[in-house]
Amino acid sequence: MTTAEPLILGIESSCDETGIGIVRGTELLTNTVSSSMDEHVRFGGVIPEIASRAHLEAFVPTLQAALTDADVSLAEIDAIAVTAGPGLSGALMVGVSAAKALAVATGKPLYAINHLVAHVGVGLIGRPPAGGLPPALGALLVSGGHTEILRVVDIAGDVDLLGSTIDDAAGEAYDKTARILGLGYPGGPAIDRLAADGDPKAIRFPRGLSQPKYMGTAEVPGPHRYDWSFSGLKTAVARSVEQYEAAGLDVPVADIAASFQEAVVDIITAKAVLACTEHGITELLLGGGVAANRRLRELTQERCEAAGITLTVPPIPLCTDNGAMVAALGAQLVMSGRSPSGIAFGTDPSLPVTTVVLPKV
């Protein structure tokens, strides 16, 4: 197996995207994605059983398309990487089962990797293979299922969780708020578009866990200094809508959308930059599906520049769930000499971010 610039096949199936990515070292050869999102729209969210069946139907065609696009064969692949968690249990099982079948059929080593750390690994695409990660790297992951700030010492095995949401993820809050405002699913893009026509200062919505009792100080940190909470914000939006309706007034949907979005991105960026400055992090990677949000990218850039932090944001297609990020992390594991996971491992829907790759059972 080539370990200098290994050819890695990555498989992602943690939610509603069937992703196959192929990288050679840090060079992206293909990022092929089949999404089942349209099948979930009428339900207002992802239905696990529908997502699992969609993965079953999409896997082989997506794999064939990826191999064709990258102009490689399975025989040329050096190793396979697959998301083992976190994610939806049934969806993960489809991808892992497919990866195990390919590993057995081809004799290729298999790496069972962490979906969240893969969002960090995708930031290495396009960098020189020997360059690796900067020594003081942080990652802000904002998606439908996760909102976390990480410190990455070694992407192959040393990742620390500094803070996370204690209830709803930011993307989940967007979806629920969009439902309240009658905007449909997915909520993130809908609110982002509508917010452009609204006043972000029209309503001062709460910033969760920002009070002194939660924040504390740098010397004596509070219990949730780097954590977030969005459930109260969602409730505040609902109460605001109810007040307008009770008064017989038109609901200012654009203003509410803009004010909600400002509350989300304000607290996310403020706490992320605080965590970076207090932990010596000088480069921050923004990833996850919500990283496509216009205002989040804008405010994160603004606050990072003010704090002397270099911000890296992957192209939008690489922010959302995809196989390229799985392949990218798999390549880092191979190049660092990490042992493969074998085929006896199971999926872990709650896999902690501190576990980068599952060990061989």
Q: Establish if 199 belongs to a structural domain.
A: yes
Give me 170's structure tokens: 């930011």
Q: How confident is the model at residue 39 (pLDDT cuts 50, 70, 90)?
A: confident
Note whether 89 and 164 are same-domain residues. no
Instruction: Note the pLDDT of residue 185.
Output: 86
Measured distance CA(347)–CA(308) in Å, rounded: 39
Does residue 296 sit within a domain? yes
Note the Cα 184 to chain centre separation in Å: 22
Which DSSP state fits 165?
B
The pLDDT-based confidence of 297 (bands split at 50, 70, 90) is very high
Q: Is 160 annotated as a binding residue?
A: no
Domain membership flag for residue 44: yes
Domain check: are 165 and 235 in the same one? yes
Amino acid at 296: L
Contact in structure between 198 and 185 (CB atoms under 8 Å): no
Same domain, 324 and 308: no
In a domain, 119, yes or no: yes
- What mean pLDDT do residues 286-309 have? 94
When pLDDT is averaged across residues 150-158 and rounded to a whole number, the result is 92
Q: Is residue 65 part of a domain?
A: yes
242, 329: one domain: no
In a domain, 343, yes or no: no
Whether residues 163 and 202 fall in one domain: yes
> Do 145 and 293 lie in a common domain?
yes
Q: How distant is the alpha carbon of residue 213 from its chain centre?
A: 29
116 annotated as a binding-site residue:
no
Known binding residue 321? Answer is yes
34 marked as part of a ligand binding site: no
- Looking at residue 165, which CATH number applies to its domain? 3.30.420.40
**Section 203-229 average pLDDT:** 97
Q: Is it the case that residue 294 has pLDDT exceeding 70? A: yes
Q: Is 144 annotated as a binding residue?
A: yes
User: What's the pLDDT at 131?
Assistant: 58
Range of the domain at 81: 7-125+318-336
143 is in an annotated binding site: yes
Q: Do 73 and 144 belong to one domain?
A: no
Task: Check the annotation: does 348 bind a ligand.
Answer: no
For residue 38, say whether it is annotated as part of any ligand binding site.
no
When divided into structural domains, the chain yields a total of: 2
Residues 324 and 309 in one domain: no
Is the per-residue pLDDT at 40 higher than 90?
Answer: no
- Strand positions, DSSP E, 129-275: 137-142, 147-154, 158-164
Asked whether residue 56 falls in the same domain as residue 35, the answer is yes
139 pLDDT above the threshold of 90: yes
Do the bridges between strand 137-142 and strand 283-287 make them parallel or antiparallel, or are there none, so unpaired? Answer: parallel
Tell me whether residue 51 is in a domain: yes
- C-alpha distances (whole Å) from 21 to each of 83, 124, 129, 152, 266 are 12, 14, 17, 23, 33
pLDDT digits (tens, 9 = 90+) for 159-195: 999 999 999 999 999 999 999 999 988 899 999 999 9
Distance CA 191, CA 198 (A): 10
Residues 100 and 184 grouped into a single domain = no
- Report the relative pairing of strands 110-114 and 79-85 from DSSP bridges: parallel
Residue 266 assigned as binding residue: no
Query: pLDDT band at residue 136, thresholds of 50, 70 and 90?
Result: confident
Confidence grade of residue 45 (pLDDT, cut at 50, 70, 90) = confident
Residue 151 · residue 162 · CB < 8 Å = yes
Is 227 known as a binding-site position? Answer: no
Q: What is the pLDDT of residue 5?
A: 92
Q: Identify whether residues 99 and 142 lie together within a single domain.
A: no
Residue 356 lies in a domain: no
**283 and 144 within one domain:** yes
Of the pLDDT bands very low, low, confident and very high (cuts 50, 70, 90), residue 46 is confident
List, in sequence order, every beta strand (DSSP E) within 230-331: 283-287, 310-312
Condensed to tens digits (0 to 9), the pLDDT of residues 103-119 reads: 999 999 999 999 999 99
- Average pLDDT rounded to a whole number, residues 222-226: 97
